[in-house]
Amino acid sequence: MQTIKGPGIFLAQFMGDEAPFNTLENICNWAKNLGYTGVQVPTWTDRFIDLQKAAESKTYADEIKGLVNSCGLEITELSTHLQGQLVAVNPAYNTMFDGFAPKSVQGNYSERTKWAVQQLKYGAKASQNLGLNAHATFSGSLLWHTFHPWPQRPAGLVEDGFTELAKRWLPILNYFDECGVDICYEIHPGEDLFDGITYEMFLEKVNNHERACLLYDPSHFVLQQLDYKQYIDFYHERIKAFHVKDAEFNATGKQGTFGGYQSWINRAGRYRSPGDGQIDFKTIFSKLTQYDYKGWAVMEWECCLKHPEDGAKEGVDFIKKHIIRVTEKAFDDFAETNSDSEFNKKILGLD
């Protein structure tokens, strides 16, 4: 077994125009002063990292890594969540997702897809140059608008959708394999990979590709009323990244999992700062430790009530409290007796 690394923090929700959230060095010093030891770095803006440059220049990648290290931190993973979303977009969502792409490809959806695919490949090479072995992203979605089967889904629609999704991702997965990096899909509502079943459907289509791995975030499973603890038992071999994000689900006689088109604060299911929700993180950390998870515990702050800076401060101690330093010996070693094959035969009555 191995002790989980952390605490880390995902920087996406903290980026801003004012110090200390405006540059990589400033935000890293802020995170270090809070007690974090790692940062997950978003790449859809060049505020913190130029993704293409990090892919094409090992020298630049070394400079970024050195800057983070000089602040007393490590890079946990790079994130291409927004670019991954654009690998596959149903036309119903084209306008709403256009803002995730640069203006040069907005409105030109075939070019936008090509841009997104290239971004993922940059993410693979940049990760390799930075010495990382895991990368966080979304799968995108062609089928999400049909998740509730009304009107009735035409026969073969889901099969065709996952075939196309796999067709788009397989070259990316192969390139990640060349770079020695795992793609960690965050299983998330709004993606075609939103639960265990859909992940398995995708996995089958990409021939169980060894790089098609998982970012485990239990908050999304609470909102779906999925057993987030048993999920680890099913998929622990594929879990290579971990977001510590809390959530709660409080159904009423008026709304449930679909949320009634309400704002986050008025939904039955909503995200909370770590420790403020209903998730059993003691069991989660125990299971991940038991299964020898080798990655980071990274806090992702999303809460409709608490100020983000308070969530960040509290998240450090919350993760530290839950990380289990693994034991190097069995608790009953004090009662150990010397044995050999002859002694064992005597115990079994075989002498």
145 pLDDT band, cuts 50/70/90, is: very high
Q: What is the pLDDT of residue 333?
A: 67
Does residue 177 surpass a pLDDT of 70?
A: yes
User: Average pLDDT for residues 92-105, to the nearest whole number?
Assistant: 97
Q: What is the pLDDT of residue 341?
A: 86
Q: What is the pLDDT of residue 336?
A: 73
Helical axes 308-322 vs 281-290, angle rounded to 10°: 50
pLDDT in tens, 292-312: 999 999 999 999 999 999 999
User: Average pLDDT for residues 328-341, to the nearest whole number?
Assistant: 73
Q: Do 212 and 237 form a contact (C-beta atoms < 8 A)?
A: no
Does residue 197 surpass a pLDDT of 70?
A: yes
Percent of residues, the chain, with pLDDT higher than 70 = 99
User: Average pLDDT for residues 129-152, to the nearest whole number?
Assistant: 97
What is the average pLDDT value for the chain, to the nearest integer? Answer: 96
pLDDT in tens, 204-238: 999 999 999 999 999 999 999 999 999 999 999 99
Please give the Cα distance from 55 to 80 (Å, whole number).
13
Please give the Cα distance from 154 to 197 (Å, whole number).
19
Q: What is the pLDDT of residue 260?
A: 97
Q: What is the pLDDT of residue 332?
A: 64
Q: Domain boundaries in the chain?
A: 5-348
Q: What is the pLDDT of residue 335?
A: 62
User: Average pLDDT for residues 35-59, to the nearest whole number?
Assistant: 98
Q: What is the pLDDT of residue 309?
A: 97
Give every CB contact of residue 43 below 8 A, 6+ residues apart in sequence. 49, 51, 78, 79, 80, 83, 119, 122, 123, 126
87 pLDDT band, cuts 50/70/90, is: very high
Q: What is the DSSP string of 115-132?
A: HHHHHHHHHHHHHHHTT-
User: Average pLDDT for residues 277-283, to the nearest whole number?
Assistant: 98
User: Average pLDDT for residues 107-131, to the nearest whole number?
Assistant: 98
334 pLDDT band, cuts 50/70/90, is: low
Q: What is the pLDDT of residue 345?
A: 85
Give every CB contact of residue 40 below 8 A, 6+ residues apart in sequence. 8, 9, 10, 11, 12, 75, 76, 77, 78, 79, 136, 296, 298
How is domain 5-348 classified at the CATH fold level?
TIM Barrel (3.20.20)
Q: Do 179 and 169 form a contact (C-beta atoms < 8 A)?
A: no
Percent of residues, the chain, with pLDDT higher than 90 = 93
